[in-house]
Amino acid sequence: MTAIDPQEHHHHHDEHNEHQPDAVENKPIAKGHLWQLFGVLVLTLGYASVEWWGSGKTHSVALLADAGHMVVDASGLLLALAGGVISLVAQTLQATEKALKVEKIAAILNGVGLVGLSGFLWWSGFEQLASPKMIEALPLLQIAGGGFIVNLIAVFILHGGQQENINVKGAYLHVLFDLLGSVTAIASAVAVMVWHVYWLDPILSLGVAGLVTYSTWQFLQLVLSSEAKPHAGGRCGHHHHH
């Protein structure tokens, strides 16, 4: 998964930027980021409710997992937004250090949300493996297909900002796993339709659970390591925000 490795995008930043290329440049959040987060929040909440309803209709744990994931996403986006708003206020008061601290706390809470999510995914996958249910493949395919499009738009919106700010990166990771959740739900629908295979649904859910667990670990390490050098984006943060 590419989301974890921010290095590939850094070559064009380096000419005009004195940051170390090894981590996300933790610049204080910009107003543009807040609008991006807000747009993605509205998209996510809207579609989560569709998936929630759909998972009951289709008996798909992959879809339920994806809906649950989107709800966690939405809370993650809300956290990033709240952290961002407080951060903007602090920036206005010229308190860049404090702004970055607030964002750090929001990002850590976001990581904790991701930990909870991976637990939920492991549990629902194993439960479905233990007692497989019949899955309604066609509505599952339609709903998961819609989710895929919604998440693709969200990933596209947040992709730029995730290089510049840990909170946007946290939100970006959430959305990226959602995209993955939609892909697994589509795959399990196809498996049911073509081969009448019902065990793929929970197996794929567990695969996503594993990925979420791994990336959450990566993200928390990233956030906590930026705690160790709070001045990394602090000093030159003033000159960059537009």
Report the number of distinct structural domains present in the chain: 1
Strand, helix or coil at 61? helix
Range of the domain at 191: 29-228
Decide if pLDDT at 216 tops 70. yes
Decide if pLDDT at 232 tops 80. no
The CATH number linked to 164 is: 1.20.1510.10
Q: What is the pTM of this model?
A: 0.69
pLDDT digits (tens, 9 = 90+) for 75-103: 788 888 888 888 888 888 888 888 888 88
Would residue 3 count as lying in a domain? Answer: no
C-alpha–C-alpha distance, residues 207 and 115, integer Å:
15
Would residue 235 count as lying in a domain? Answer: no
Contact 104, 166 (CB under 8 A): yes
C-alpha–C-alpha distance, residues 5 and 172, integer Å:
13
Percent of the residues in the chain that have a pLDDT greater than 90, as a whole number: 5
Strand, helix or coil at 77? helix
Would residue 9 count as lying in a domain? Answer: no
Would residue 239 count as lying in a domain? Answer: no
Decide if pLDDT at 149 tops 90. yes
Contacts of 209 (CB under 8 A, 6+ apart): 65, 118, 121, 122, 125
- Tell me the CB-side half-sphere exposure of residue 71, using CA atoms within 13 A: 15
pLDDT of residue 136: 82
Contacts of 22 (CB under 8 A, 6+ apart): 7
pLDDT of residue 24: 61
Would residue 1 count as lying in a domain? Answer: no
Would residue 14 count as lying in a domain? Answer: no
pLDDT of residue 138: 86
Average pLDDT over residues 120-145: 84
Q: Tell me the average pLDDT of the chain.
A: 77
pLDDT of residue 3: 47
Would residue 181 count as lying in a domain? Answer: yes
Would residue 8 count as lying in a domain? Answer: no
Higher pLDDT residue, 4 or 25? 25
pLDDT of residue 11: 45
pLDDT digits (tens, 9 = 90+) for 24-81: 667 788 888 888 898 899 888 888 888 888 877 777 777 777 777 777 778 788 888 8
Contacts of 54 (CB under 8 A, 6+ apart): 60, 63, 67, 139, 140, 143
The amino acid at 223: V
